[in-house]
Amino acid sequence: MQPILLGYAMSEGLDCMTQEDANRLTHINIAFGLIRDGLLSMHNLPNLKEQLARIRAMNPALKIVLSIGGWGAGGFSLMSRTQEGRDAFKESVRKVLDEYELDGVDIDWEYPCNDAAEIDCDPSDKQNFTYLMQAMREAAGPDRIVSIAAGGGDYFVRDTEMDKVAEICDYIQLMTYDLNWEYKVTRHHTSLYALENSYPEGNADYCTKLFHNAGVPMEKIVLGAAFYSRKWQGVKAENNGLLQPTETLGGYGPRYSDLEENYINKNGFVRYWDDHAKAPYLFDGKDFISYDDEESIKAKCQYILDNGLLGLMYWEHSCDPTGKLLKACYDNLRG
């Protein structure tokens, strides 16, 4: 079986999807449904039916899945603490899947047992996450997709029962991006491997092995790529900016199309390649930008093929309207 190629798409991403994009993808995750008063709400996606009709006409074979949650989206913990809460949410999900004729549901709870995003949480989230995923399987039935997006760190494995969750899900998507941004030192936010002789965690290879050791089969792992960047400012001008102290954390940087137009070997920024981590970065003497490009995506695709992973996913489709990164994903994974 060929690997899957999955793109997360917010409303803007759905609007800019082309015929060529639709033919290259196997799956789309619509971002996001939200939880309101313990039930699934679609108020965040007012034009979805029209958008779906256009995309389905371009490629009827596409699997279109609703992702629920996202960073800062709460309601999971309170809803999942009781059987009654889970049952009510399950029925609301079932109705939406039927109404929109969707191919499945993806839970993006960021994160169980964790209030970093200032959402509700509780120690019981660890077991309740498993119960919630079982409820999603009941809502979807045996023929629809059930998946999760998992944070790429030890905390997510510690705070969930990944062996049980993996049995319920068709696949587990590893968010192997947004890594290492919370430190005032320049590192890669979406590299394949670790920096040489430094920081073994915070990379796709580490995350893959972490989740596999927690009970997730390799053939159920979908690796993540970033179509956007992270940017550190006030960087010490040594070692081309890599592994240097900074004045800021790694905040969100430009999306890929903007990087290509205004940053990559332009306006004082120089592109460097970390061959050990298989990751590019930009530095202009004071600002450091970490991102994925065609070369790093090629390395990730080869890793997926070599290690028997299920496929590749990326966040988020509108970040590269040129289609260059999606073409690199397709050519190296499925072409």
How many angstroms separate the Cα of 253 from the Cα of each of 40, 189, 302? 31, 11, 26
Give the model's pLDDT for residue 197.
87
Q: Exposure string (b/e) for 30-60, b if CB count within 10 Å is 16 or more? A: bbbbbbeebbbebebbeebeebbeebeeebe
pLDDT in tens, 165-216: 999 999 999 999 999 999 999 999 999 999 998 899 999 999 999 999 999 9
> What is the model's pLDDT at position 335?
87
Residue 65 has a pLDDT of: 98
For residue 34, name the pLDDT band (cuts at 50, 70, 90): very high
Residue % of the chain over a pLDDT of 90: 99
- Which tokens go with 73? 């989206």
Angle ∠(6,8,10) on CA atoms, nearest 5: 150
Amino acid, res. 48: L
Work out the mean pLDDT of the chain and round it to a whole number: 97
As a whole-number percent, the residues of the chain with pLDDT over 70 amount to: 100
Query: CB atoms < 10 A from the CB of 160, how many?
Result: 25
* pLDDT band at 30; cut points 50, 70, 90: very high
Phi, psi of 325, rounded to the nearest 5 degrees: -70, -40
State the average pLDDT over residues 270-289: 98
Contact assessment for residue 73 and residue 35, using Cβ atoms and an 8 Å cutoff: yes
Query: Which amino acids are annotated catalytic?
Result: 110
| Tokens found for residue 123 | 């120690």
Q: Tell me the per-residue pLDDT of 204-222, one tens digit each, with 9 for 90 and over.
A: 999 999 999 999 999 999 9
Domain extents for the chain?
4-226+292-333
Q: What is the pLDDT of residues 132-168, one digit of tens each?
A: 999 999 999 999 999 999 999 999 999 999 999 999 9
Pick the CATH number of 4-226+292-333 from 3.40.640.10, 3.20.20.80, 3.40.50.720, 3.30.360.10: 3.20.20.80
Residue 1's pLDDT is what?
82
Looking at residue 130, its pLDDT comes to 98
